[in-house]
Amino acid sequence: MKRKFKQFTEKLIEGLLLISGSLTSITVLLIVIFLFKEGLGLFTTSPMENKNVIVVNKLNPVEHLTAGQIKKIFDQEITNWKDLGGKNDTILLFTINDLSNYFSEEEIGENFEYLPEKLNSIVDSIPNLLAVYTDKYLVKELKGKIVKVDKNNIPDFILGREWFPTAEPAVQLGVLPLILGTLLVSIFAILFALPIGIATSIYMAEVANERVRKILKPIIELLAGIPSVVYGFFGLIVIVPLIHDTFNLPVGETALAGSIVLAIMALPTIITVSEDAIRNTPRSMKEASLALGANRWQTIHRVVLPYSMSGITAAAILGIGRAIGETMAVLMVTGNAAVMPHSLLQPVRTIPATIAAELGEAPQGGVHYQALFALGCILFILTLLINIWVEYVSSKQKFKK
């Protein structure tokens, strides 16, 4: 009876573990599918926000425009139709705000009931006009023509240099500054953290006595549990003013501040993983080195570090993964300027900080909303590549052992 009850209990536990694992896997898969579904939807939509349309005179030969061209038109960088493949004529911009220059309130109607007809007539009467208004004011018998606006595409999204997701009438979705800002902050954070982390792990594994190690290890591991907002607050109060005064900058919120804060946050991961890799060096190899006449530091340099290099590399990669995905601390100290980074001493913006700062303000289902999910896809791919690299390095370490 007891044996049957034990078998039943084991089967029940196995079933519960199977269900738990299956639900977890399905949940993760559904999250990834939802992320890419929302993100890839960006490339099937127009960059025109609020259902705006561009209407021109029917004799105008221009058939389509890009979001970049529309921005240049509104910024007065393009002022002639010939630059867009049309006639040699000045572009006359018209929006709803310009109605009072052409019509009186009586002509428009108290409730704007005559507005569609008036818009239709003004487009028909002015050959060089470029009118922008919402599609609800379009009439069935349109005397002008609607200019097609090219849909968002992946090359422009990845390589574009301007991030203005709320621009009117066409949004500008270039994420190259965000990608480079993320990589700049993350890479320099690892360059700052790696030497300190490796030196600390060598000390704890090979130099410090057991008593000191038992004190240091819990303290270092405790650093990993500190909320990121606390690190961000520390960076904002201490590191940012220090950088501002040291380099005599207009503002201290720079990529350098973000790198230093992330380096501090990545240290616990790097130290812990590196120390475990160093301590796993076989005792026989170290004793053999010492028996041949090498001193302690020669043994560390020529035996311990080469043997544990795979583990140290894995620590560095895990630190990069922590840095790339960090949000709050970076949001507080980097200045959040979506510009092309040229040095560590200028404000930048990272992908996680952009998502955290803007998602709450993006209308659900809109272009801005989809663009932020597309940023999430990029971040997911970067993190996935890092994880694959970690698995590859770890497998090499296991094979070596």
What is the predicted pLDDT for the residue at 393? 67
What is the predicted pLDDT for the residue at 388? 81
Residue segments in the chain with a per-residue pLDDT below the cut of 70:
1, 393-401
What is the predicted pLDDT for the residue at 400? 55
Q: Give per-residue pLDDT as tens, 43-96.
A: 998 898 778 999 999 999 999 999 999 999 999 999 999 999 999 999 999 998
Closest CA to 202 of 320, 303, 317, 318: 303
Beta bridge partners of 94: 131
Query: Which CATH architecture best describes the domain 176-400?
Result: Orthogonal Bundle (1.10)
What is the predicted pLDDT for the residue at 399? 52
Question: Tokens at residue 156, please?
Answer: 């422009």
* Cβ pair 99, 181 in contact under 8 A: no
3-class SS at 335? strand
Give the DSSP letter of residue 254: S
Q: Does pTM surpass 0.75? A: yes
Q: Cα dist. 160→130, 176, 184, 377, 387 in Å?
A: 25, 6, 17, 17, 27
Q: Which residues touch 378 (CB under 8 Å, ≥6 apart)?
A: 175, 179, 351
What is the predicted pLDDT for the residue at 217? 87
Domain ranges of the chain: 52-151, 176-400
What is the predicted pLDDT for the residue at 1? 66
CATH (residue range 52-151): 3.40.190.10
Give the strand pairing for 92-95 and 64-65. unpaired
What is the predicted pLDDT for the residue at 214? 87
Q: Cα dist. 74→59, 79, 261, 347, 366 in Å?
A: 22, 9, 40, 27, 22
Q: Which residue is listed with tokens 């840095």?
A: 323
Indicate the helix (H) or strand (E) that contains 222: helix 210-223
What is the predicted pLDDT for the residue at 397? 55
CB-based contacts of 183-187 (< 8 A; 24+ apart in sequence): 184/255, 184/259, 184/341, 184/344, 184/348, 185/255, 185/258, 185/259, 185/262, 185/323, 185/330, 185/334, 185/348, 185/350, 186/262, 186/320, 186/323, 186/324, 187/320
What is the predicted pLDDT for the residue at 5? 74
Question: Tokens at residue 211, please?
Answer: 């008593």
Q: What does the alpha-carbon distance between residue 102 and residue 109 come to, in Å, rounded to a whole number?
A: 14
What b-and-e string marks burial along 164-193, b requiring 16 or more CB atoms within 10 Å of the CB? ebebebbbbbbbbbbbbbbbbbbebbbebb
